[in-house]
């Protein structure tokens, strides 16, 4: 398990992860200009069956061309149990290593054996992200997260639309029907040091509802959110970034505990608030995230 300091040094912003349909060449081009932390070049749900091969070719060509800058580029493949999944991975492995995406996102992963099967087929050096979107995945969530110790698995992505479908649940304001699944995935991710991204918000026109959904996810502890439209990027990035006030308080907390006169103290009053060592650790993480966002920009 990584030390806290090394984990903080390795932080990269994953506030916003925008799905881009692989069959849409203009979208793949536009993605190079968008303020997304992560780009999810999609070969799965966003692509009709008769466009799968074209989408695969276009995504591979886009990766060859590059130009995505500091954005983390991830390709969502089709499942290995479909007619396209293994061909997706084979095409990506056939690229020059310089064109590899940073990660592969696999849909509907429900067992540890599936993670191992994917790992054996990944392009060399690619991370593995998995969609958590089935009841079986939720029941197996600790086993899935534990594979991070021996595989390139590093991110859970919540597939809330598919979860709702499988549960026959309504997608309602506040997401009460999905809360158990969301919290179980969060706890497993934190136990094994994974990043975990919240699911999409479907109503592009409902800006207020989207921001509320983002705030709920951030309050719960999600690292960021998956998105379906570029208009969702700015509010999402804002919600999942520390505010100026939070950064200022975090700097004061860290400085207070670092002051020589406070050496060995477990509790201090900082800006009128009783502050323990655990709050210093939280503050250090806030500063690491803020610094990572600043460095990216």
Residuewise pLDDT in 10s, the chain (297 residues): 444 554 565 788 999 999 999 999 999 999 999 999 999 999 999 999 999 999 999 999 999 999 999 999 999 999 999 999 999 999 999 999 999 999 999 999 999 999 999 999 999 999 999 999 999 999 999 999 999 999 999 999 999 999 999 999 999 999 999 999 999 999 999 999 999 999 999 999 999 999 999 999 999 999 999 999 999 999 999 999 999 999 999 998 999 888 899 888 888 888 888 888 899 999 999 999 999 999 887
Please tell me the distance from the alpha carbon of residue 164 to that of residue 275, in angstroms, as a whole number: 40
Distance of CA 9 to the CA centre of its chain: 18
**H-type alpha helices, 102-140:** 112-121, 135-139
What are phi and psi for residue 270, nearest 5 degrees? -125, 115
Q: Tell me the domain boundaries of the chain.
A: 4-239, 244-296
DSSP state of 287: H
Buried b (16+ CB within 10 A) or exposed e, 73-111: bbbbbbbbebebbbbbbebbeeeeeebbbbbbbbbbbbe
Strand partners, 74: 40, 103
Fold of 4-239: TIM Barrel (3.20.20)
Q: Are 158 and 197 in contact (CB under 8 A)?
A: yes
Structure tokens at 210: 């989207």
Q: Give dist(CA 143, CA 179) in Å, integer.
A: 20
Phi, psi at residue 106, to the nearest 5°?
-105, 135
Neighbours of 126 (CB within 10 A): 20
* 3-class state of residue 119 by DSSP: helix
pTM: predicted TM-score of the whole model, two decimal places: 0.92
Residue 221 CB-density burial (10 A; 0-12 exposed, 13-18 middle, 19+ buried): middle
């Amino acid at each position: 398990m990584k030390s806290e300091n090394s984990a903080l040094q390795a932080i990269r912003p994953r506030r916003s992860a925008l799905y881009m349909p692989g069959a849409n060449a203009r979208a793949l081009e536009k993605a190079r200009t968008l303020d997304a932390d992560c780009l999810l070049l999609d070969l799965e749900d966003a692509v009709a069956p008769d466009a799968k091969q074209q989408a695969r070719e276009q995504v591979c060509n886009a990766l060859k061309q590059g130009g995505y800058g500091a954005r983390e580029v991830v390709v969502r493949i089709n499942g290995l149990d479909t007619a396209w999944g293994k061909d997706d991975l084979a095409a990506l492995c056939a690229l020059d290593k310089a064109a590899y995406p940073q990660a592969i996102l696999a849909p509907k992963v429900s067992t540890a054996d599936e993670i191992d099967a994917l790992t054996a087929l990944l392009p060399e050096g690619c991370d593995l992200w998995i969609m958590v979107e089935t009841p079986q995945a939720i029941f197996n969530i600790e086993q899935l997260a534990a594979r991070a110790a021996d595989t390139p698995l590093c991110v859970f992505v919540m597939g809330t639309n598919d979860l709702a479908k499988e549960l026959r649940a309504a997608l309602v304001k506040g997401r009460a029907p999905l809360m158990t699944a969301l919290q179980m995935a969060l706890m497993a991710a934190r136990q094994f040091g994974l990043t975990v991204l919240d699911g999409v918000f479907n109503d592009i026109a409902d800006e207020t509802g989207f921001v509320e959904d983002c705030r709920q996810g951030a309050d719960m502890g999600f690292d960021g959110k998956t998105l379906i439209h570029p208009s969702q990027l700015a509010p999402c990035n804002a919600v999942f970034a520390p505010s100026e006030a939070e950064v200022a308080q975090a700097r004061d907390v860290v400085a207070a505990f670092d002051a020589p006169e406070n050496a060995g103290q477990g509790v201090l009053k900082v800006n009128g608030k009783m502050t323990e060592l655990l709050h210093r650790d939280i503050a250090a993480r806030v500063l690491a995230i803020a610094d990572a966002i600043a460095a990216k920009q």
